[in-house]
Amino acid sequence: MTSRKTSEPSPESVARANRQRLAQEEGVRAMADVARDAVAIRKNMDRLRALRQAREAEQAASPQALPDGQDKKKKRVRKP
């Protein structure tokens, strides 16, 4: 039995090539989505860091009276 390769690709090889092409395109889109999400996360982290630093600077500039550790507690009155 001799098998000759034809110049025409088989339907299976065409389908396989099409699946590979689609998978590659989907991979490129997925990588772009991941990169876009990473940029958004970094921007949000920078924004939150700036807010935290501003809040800490404000607290350092105007120290509030710290509680002396003695909490005023109400005594419970037991009913007989």
Domain-by-domain residue ranges, the chain? 12-61
Judge residue 72's burial from the number of C-beta atoms within 10 Å of its C-beta, 0-12 exposed, 13-18 middle, 19 or more buried.
exposed
Residue 74's pLDDT band, with cuts at 50, 70 and 90, is confident
Residue 80 has pLDDT above 80, yes or no: no
pLDDT, tens digit, 9 for 90 and up, residues 2-45: 566 668 889 999 999 999 999 999 999 999 999 999 999 999 99
Assess whether pLDDT exceeds 70 at residue 60. Answer: yes
Q: What is the model's pLDDT at position 55?
A: 96
Q: How many CB atoms sit inside 10 A of residue 28's CB?
A: 10
**Predicted structure pTM score:** 0.54
